[in-house]
């Protein structure tokens, strides 16, 4: 499998409402941190996340977190 593109070396902090989100795992999306189907033809698939209540989410944008789709500060070592 290919390595993901590093979309940004820092998290995307978003206030999220309840519902489903699709996190971009390939790094190619133009709508980071969300999927826009740019992964088509790659070995990557979006990660479906269910947000159950309004809250602040820290999304990984370097695509190397060990806690995908959430930031674990791995970007600091890239």
Rounded distance between C-alpha atoms, residue 36 and residue 13, angstroms: 18
Region 18-45 average pLDDT: 97
Domains of the chain: which residue ranges? Answer: 12-77
Q: How many CA atoms lie within 13 A of 56 on its CB side?
A: 4
Full-model pTM: 0.94
Q: Is the model's pLDDT at 1 over the cut of 80?
A: no
Q: pLDDT by residue (tens digit) across 60-75?
A: 999 999 999 999 999 9
Confidence of residue 32 (pLDDT cuts 50, 70, 90): very high
Q: Is the model's pLDDT at 76 over the cut of 70?
A: yes
Percent of the residues in the chain that have a pLDDT greater than 70, as a whole number: 99
Reading the block at residue 9, the tokens are 């070396």
């Amino acid at each position: 499998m290919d390595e993901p593109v590093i979309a940004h070396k820092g998290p995307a902090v978003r206030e999220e409402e309840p519902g489903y989100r699709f996190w971009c795992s390939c790094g190619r999306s133009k709508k980071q941190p969300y999927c826009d189907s740019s992964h088509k033809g790659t070995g990557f698939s979006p990660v479906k996340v269910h947000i159950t209540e309004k809250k602040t989410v820290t999304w990984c944008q370097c695509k190397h977190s060990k806690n995908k789709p959430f930031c674990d500060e791995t970007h600091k070592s890239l």
